[in-house]
Amino acid sequence: MIRRFKAHARKFITLLLKERLDPGRAAAAVFLGIFIGIVPIYGLQTLAAVGVALLFRLNKPLTVAGTFINNPLLAPLIVFCSVELGCLLRLGSFQPLTLSDLAAARTHISKEQLFIWLIGSVALGILVGGIGGVITAVMVHLHLKAFATAALRERVRFVNGMFTPCSLRARQFVRWKLRLDRIFELLAAENLGSGTVLDLGCGYGMALVFAAFGDKRRRLVGCDLDAHRIAVARQALGHLNADVTVADIRQFELPPAGLILILDVLQYLPAVEQSALLKRCCSALAPGGILVFRVPDGERGLRSAIAMAFEQLFFACGSVGFRPRMLSIAEYRGALENTGMQFEERHFQNRLPLAHVLFVARKSLTETTL
């Protein structure tokens, strides 16, 4: 019983400490915590910090920790700086303060002196809180960047390892694809959910392996028209819970899935079939499931022109029989909005001079997409 309580308490504290720790919100939490700690509302600072954190959905431990700036060691300095800053704002200049002045203020303080202290503490809180917020944002950003880099490196090593049994040509393709294509960097930064992973147009199955990192038992389903790529995928995914087949995505039966990936495939389809496929994918998602698809960005000038030329060349070499058909960003948005999905866009440029848009759409936990 005690062991179970400790485990639940540890889990709760861990979740509490990690809540909303992106750089912007972490900076806001520290700023408000320091501001509340400096403003003279003694006895109510912790309560105010918790209330503000709940109101603005900030990290509560970080906000409360900011109020600790007002401690017995720093309190005299905070009061002194607040009064001097208040004098500058109220009277136009700093005023010399002696120990006798501070001692007298402890027993009697006029309304004017209280007002000077108050406006000075507000200004000092904004100044020091701002500095603390900026430092926090930089530190959290660097930490998250280092963590993301380490996590990406581990995933890349895992993917390369899974393709070790494959041919040298396949291994080299996978290695350079991982280096040049930023899609994997973006996927590593996303929450890829749980449950079955479905990759439409999976190719060598790299994205499936990438999603299986950390959970080799996760079911992986993929399809592609290229029989050679499917053969390589089967060889690489042989030790995973994978099922990859040669099939046309338009007729492929979509299993219920927690994550569906469509990377550089939609432009193979006519406009009407693109919208129909997105609708089918949204219907196949389990509650809370995620749909991730990438399309070329046609609104980025020269890079868009290069991306379109690259796609047309790829289509010509593949003997597809028709030119790529990219919908506008607004049309892709509309297709997702019609299904009731909540989605975000990630505009990014690859290490090659190509511009893309990554759509990350999430299905509600309670609503059923029609």
The residue extents of the domains of the chain are 2-143, 164-362
pLDDT for 105 beyond 60: no
**What integer is the mean pLDDT of 232-244?**
94
Element (H, E) at 9: helix 2-18
State pLDDT tens for residues 316-370.
555 444 555 677 888 888 889 888 888 888 887 766 667 788 899 999 876 544 4
pLDDT for 79 beyond 90: no
β 355-362/342-349 pair status: antiparallel
State pLDDT tens for residues 275-316.
999 999 999 999 999 999 998 876 655 555 665 666 555 555
Fold (CATH) for 164-362:
Rossmann fold (3.40.50)
State pLDDT tens for residues 27-71.
899 999 999 999 999 889 999 999 998 888 888 888 999 999 989
Q: What is the pTM of this model?
A: 0.60
Q: ∠349-352-354 over CA atoms, to 5°?
A: 50
Tell me if 19 sits within 8 A of 60, measured CB to CB: yes
pLDDT of residue 361: 92
Instruction: Determine the Cα–Cα distance for residues 362 and 360; give it in Å rounded to an integer.
Output: 7
pLDDT of residue 287: 92
Residues pairing with 246 in the sheet? 224
